[in-house]
Structure 1
Amino acid sequence: MDGTTLYSIGELSRRTGLSVRTIRFYSDAGVVAPTDRSPAGYRLYDLDALLRLELVRTLRELGIDLATVQRVLRRELTVAEVAAAHADAVDLQIRTLRLRRSVLNVVAGNGSSPEETKLMHRLTQLSGEERRRLIDDFLDGTFGTTDGDPAVVAMLRAATPDLPDDASTEQVAAWVELAEMVGDEDFRARMRRTAGYHAGRRTLDIESRAGSELMAFTRLRLAQAGESGIEPRSEEAAPVVDDIVQRFAEVLLRAPDAEFREWLAQQFAEAHDPRVDRYWRLVWIVNGWEVVPSLIPLYAWFVEALAGSRGHGA
């Protein structure tokens, strides 16, 4: 092979692996112009045309569109520039496919209806900026732009759920549930009521009345019970609850009976709401944070345990 050799379309096809029809198309489109023609009028191509065709085939197999290929051949773009841009596009396609796979897994696992599937797809297709705006609208709508406690709002913004590009099935399901939750006005009211306690900006009346020593003991016992996997309504929970109730009754000069247990549950329930607790757990999942048992609201466990033990006591 040398620079003076001319090749027919058939020979180019054998050397490049491209079909005769494809080479003819590229020739008609001006991608690879014939160098000459045979006496019978057939197109002939030189070595440069062969090399151009091999480059065209390589770039096309990498998914680069023909218009961009032509710009490379005209030296308007370098192969490196095209490769970098195309790599970014491929990364985006990969992220989209991963997210789509996660959505499909959620649909398959939950047996979602067509309406739920459409909603899930729409919510996960939001851009990162659109997802952040959704949460910003929730915070502004819940606390207002000026009336909310700055520390509380700052805590909530610091924990903004951010769905990663390579989200797992669990993260997609958590994000969809969160997105639906933050648009619910009832949930916003619940968040307004309890957020101050979660941010540590307010204390319960019962905490002030019981004193720091008893509250520290209570939090320790509740954390130990939660970390041990003790269910609040189980038999294993009864000794924990009875001990705490007895200590509160002694400090508050009350009888540890069913009425006192109900009153105590009401006091602790002021800072607890199952949907707000669920919000925080979903945020942890979406952000890929470890769900630390000691950070799960301790009083929620105690309130439920008290509800299952009101027949106890004197």
Structure 2
Amino acid sequence: MRYSIGELARRTGLTIKAVRFYSDRGLVPPSGRNTAGQRRYDDAALARLGLVRTLRELGLDLATIRRIADGEVAVADIAARHVEALEAEIRLLRLRQAVLTAIASRGSTNEETRLVHELALLSEAERRHLVDDFLAEALGDRPGLAGVARTLTPELPEDPSPEQLDAWIALAELTRDVEFRAILRRLADQLEPGLRRDLAAEVRKAVTPALEAGIAPDTPEAASIVDGLGLDPRELREWLEAVNDPRRERYLGLLAVVNGWAAPESLAPTLDWLTAASSRP
């Protein structure tokens, strides 16, 4: 069957101008001409034009389309390469979206915008260096705390969500807080050689029933719970002052978002109760 340019356009949904453009560039050559010299196309040209249209809509350039149509390369091989390129482009677009979302949500100044962009675009090695430097100063050179360091290490995914990237930026900013580093250092110091135990877990176990039962911190029952912990009052006060700093809990919450963990249960009510109970004369 023979088709005119207009018939090809109707059958493929392209404009006559587009069909003529592809024909002029040799992508869809005519199979002949009529007596008036007008180009005519056969079924093979119709099928070829359908392929050209599909590949153009998928974003392939004309040179690549010609190679596929001429059988020089397999469309599957080209598609695989384009998938990789698109995935990289999508990751970049998502990263840009997450950065802009973070900037917008924070109402950032020009300087804050620069910092947010800088932190967001750190390479994995640069992020690791930033975190390792923070943990080294906060925990010190203590092989016995290697496990603690691992649990405090953020692992930002290769393709983070806007929430994860925003949490990473906030966490990275927190690691630069000199006072926060000092607080963690104090907690680490208390693990050697004094409070060599998971005191937070012990406190939660001891205090939670009291909170649930509505026991006030200024009662004999509360005093008995504090005594049951078996800690020197001065050590307990120092531990509470450091562990109950809101920045510690904020770090853990941000860490959970970055790493895709469940949100940690707040220890603040327990620590507030114990602080009050241990402060009574």
TM-score bracket, normalised by the shorter chain, equals 0.7 to 0.9
Confirm whether residue 265 of structure 1 aligns to residue 237 of structure 2. yes
- Residue 163 (structure 1) shift: 2.8
Matches within 5 A, 1:35-50: 35-50=31-46
* Higher mean C-alpha deviation, range 130-139 or range 181-190: 181-190
Aligned with 1:177 (options 152, 170, 174): 170
Aligned with 1:51 (options 26, 47, 51): 47
Q: Give the Cα–Cα distance (whole angstroms) in 1 for the partners of residues 259 and 44 of structure 2.
A: 54
Unaligned runs of 5+ in 1: 253-259
Matches within 5 A, 1:192-203: 192-195=185-188, 202-203=191-192
CA contact (8 A) 1:269 1:303 kept: no
Confirm whether residue 80 of structure 1 aligns to residue 47 of structure 2. no
Confirm whether residue 313 of structure 1 aligns to residue 280 of structure 2. yes
Name the % identity. Answer: 40
Confirm whether residue 283 of structure 1 aligns to residue 247 of structure 2. no
Aligned with 2:124 (options 115, 124, 131): 131
Q: Give the Cα–Cα distance (whole angstroms) in 2 for the partners of residues 123 and 74 of structure 1.
A: 48
Q: Which amino acid aligns with 2:173?
A: E
Q: Secondary structure at the match of 1:31?
A: coil
Q: Secondary structure at the match of 2:164?
A: helix
Matches within 5 A, 1:14-29: 14-29=10-25
Count how many residue pairs are aligned between Structure 1 and Structure 2: 277
Confirm whether residue 222 of structure 1 aligns to residue 207 of structure 2. yes
Aligned with 1:69 (options 65, 71, 93): 65
Q: Deviation string for 1:10-37 (max 9, x for gaps)?
A: 2221221111222222233332233334
Q: Give the Cα–Cα distance (whole angstroms) in 2 for the partners of residues 36 and 236 of structure 1.
A: 97
Change in CA separation of 1:244 and 1:158 when aligned onto 2, cut-off 3 Å: closer
CA contact (8 A) 2:134 2:176 kept: no
Match of 1:255 in 2: none
- Residue 92 (structure 1) shift: 4.2
Change in CA separation of 1:140 and 1:122 when aligned onto 2, cut-off 3 Å: closer
- Residue 101 (structure 1) shift: 4.7
Q: Deviation string for 1:23-57 (max 9, x for gaps)?
A: 22223333223333445444333332221110011
Q: Which amino acid aligns with 2:170?
A: E
CA contact (8 A) 2:218 2:280 kept: no
Change in CA separation of 1:108 and 1:134 when aligned onto 2, cut-off 3 Å: closer
Q: Secondary structure at the match of 2:166?
A: helix
Change in CA separation of 1:265 and 1:168 when aligned onto 2, cut-off 3 Å: same
Q: Secondary structure at the match of 1:289?
A: coil
Confirm whether residue 156 of structure 1 aligns to residue 149 of structure 2. yes
Q: Which amino acid aligns with 2:253?
A: R
Q: Deviation string for 1:73-94 (max 9, x for gaps)?
A: 2323212223333334444454
RMSD: 4.2
Unaligned runs of 5+ in 2: none
Q: Give the Cα–Cα distance (whole angstroms) in 1 for the partners of residues 247 and 134 of structure 2.
A: 18
Q: Secondary structure at the match of 1:18?
A: coil
Confirm whether residue 244 of structure 1 aligns to residue 244 of structure 2. no
CA contact (8 A) 1:265 1:307 kept: yes
Change in CA separation of 1:174 and 1:141 when aligned onto 2, cut-off 3 Å: closer
CA contact (8 A) 2:134 2:175 kept: no
Q: Which amino acid aligns with 1:178?
A: L
Q: Give the Cα–Cα distance (whole angstroms) in 1 for the partners of residues 257 and 200 of structure 2.
A: 29
Match of 1:257 in 2: none
Q: Which amino acid aligns with 1:12?
A: L
TM-score calculated relative to the size of structure 1: 0.66
TM-score calculated relative to the size of structure 2: 0.73
Q: Give the Cα–Cα distance (whole angstroms) in 2 for the partners of residues 155 and 263 of structure 1.
A: 21
